[in-house]
Chain A
Amino acid sequence: MVRLELIETLEGHRDRVWQASWHPSKAILATCSGDKTVRLWAPSTQTNFTKWHCVETLEGAHKRTIRSVAWSPTGNELATASFDATTGIWENDPRDNDWECVATLEGHENEIKSVSWSSTGALLATCSRDKSVWIWEVEADNDFECLSVLQEHTQDVKMVAWHPQLELLASASYDDTIKIWKEDEDDWYCADTLEGHESTVWAIDFNKKGDQIVSVSDDQTIRIWKMYKPNNSQGIPTHNGEATWRTICTLSGYHSRCIYSVSWSKVNGCIATVGGDNTIHIFEEDKEASKDEDSPIYKNIATITDAHGDYDINCVSWFPTESHGDLLSTVGDDNLVRIWKFVRDE
């Protein structure tokens, strides 16, 4: 049996909380909100996780909603994406443990929906309602150079997510597709378009290895896509020497409204989803029932209904590493942040 234990409920945001992002190694959670702030939350000590509190509020840099927040791989910087069409870069000053907005990236025509750092921290990606995805190079002295403006989505781009190891980017859009972006001699291009969802794709996450992607949509389904390289042993056709992504599993009938967020644990392999039906679902591959790795079967191993009362849940995220791999955060339209502990009874 598995269950989710509610550890803590955190109040402080004064508007809907849109997203949460775990520090890459420490038990610190960054959350962003319609109240134009980012809050950092931490337990009283790094060993006692029963009580959490707000340790920092980052404010003053954005004029409108902060839709997305992302830690750099070192945890020394945060990037914030705002409806005010700018991306903020915040740096931690270790002397007084203070956060300061050290750069503002401009260029998008309107609301920025998501921001993500590549695994090495060398690249940053942003996406916007202006239908574009921008790739930025991180240079010395808080300088950011735009390397590419990618304009192949036909609608609002909701989320960007980097591959866990490679410089490969995935983007999800209101045009119902996911696109995979790669670089060839400084030139970024769309290497594949993943079609199958019947409405807006709100969120995506890679598995630990990076050869699969999970996506969630307004069509109330969850899809798992697998990458097939050229000359794969399964005989899946590929084009122009590019890998192709195929749906290998579709989960439907679990969420009864739009699914807003998904997180694929890099520690226990479980997939967590949340949405407009106020529910958290946890899925795990049923290794015994799965016939082969090209048609896996996933089972729903835990469900929490009304996890934020009557309110939509906007984001779910697993802690990224082994150190606190059992932690899960959710944020909602009730302005609250919740921390959950994943417990498996043997």
Chain B
Amino acid sequence: DTVEDPIDEQEVFDLVRSISDPEHPLTLEQLNVLQFDHVEVDNDNNKVLIEFTPTIPHCSMATLIGLCIRVRLLRSLPDRFKVDIRVRKGTHQSEHAVNKQLNDKERVAAALENTHLLEVVNQCLSTAGLRG
């Protein structure tokens, strides 16, 4: 008897667009790392897919950026959602390795127990509530 609000692409995009880049004083939307068209939500099947585009093909921050997006959604979306985060095809030289790491929940859990890393993630997420 709990009726959950359906969640759409706009709502998910609004949750992540204002995350700060780890290196630049700009949001992931301003850097075109995140784009509305690259968010897919299947509310009925509890699935979210976000593809992001690193600014350069050898961006060393790609995994950290993906982790920030994941943590933001972990904290904001209802638990029922299964989230996949991927580098947009053809935009990073280590695409497969980055994708595998970001979607290994055990490694994500271990990363979030690292105090230093968590601080960096929280710093990037401190602007996330601004929504555009």
Contacts and interface: CB of A to CB of B under 8 A. Distances in A.
Interface of A: 16, 34, 64-65, 67, 83, 110-111, 113, 129, 156, 158, 174, 199-200, 218, 257-258, 276-277, 310-312, 333
B23 interface: no
A310 B80 contact: yes
A83 B110 CA distance: 7
A65 B46 contact: no
Interface stretch (B32-40, B65-73, B99-107, B119-127): B99-107
Interface in B75-127: 79-80, 82, 100, 103-107, 109-110, 113
A34 B108 CA distance: 12
B82 A276 contact: yes
A111 B114 CA distance: 11
Contacts of B103: 218, 258
Q: Of residues B79, B103, B106, which shows the largest number of chain A Cβ atoms within 10 Å of its Cβ? A: B106
Given A199-B100, A200-B104, A310-B46, A65 B82 contact: no
A130 to B, nearest CB: 12
Nearest to A155: B100
Contacts of B100: 174, 199-200
Contact of B109 (A34, A257, A258, A277): A34
A273 B63 CA distance: 30
A65 B79 CA distance: 21
Contacts of B109: 16, 34, 65, 83
A152 B125 CA distance: 38
A67 B80 contact: no
Given A129-B107, A200-B100, A83 B46 contact: no
A113 B82 CA distance: 23
Q: Of residues B79, B80, B82, which shows the largest number of chain A Cβ atoms within 10 Å of its Cβ? A: B82
Given A65-B109, A111-B110, A129-B110, A174 B104 contact: yes
Contacts of B105: 276, 312
A343 to B, nearest CB: 29
Nearest to A202: B106
A258 B82 CA distance: 11
Contacts of B104: 174, 200, 218
A199 B107 CA distance: 15
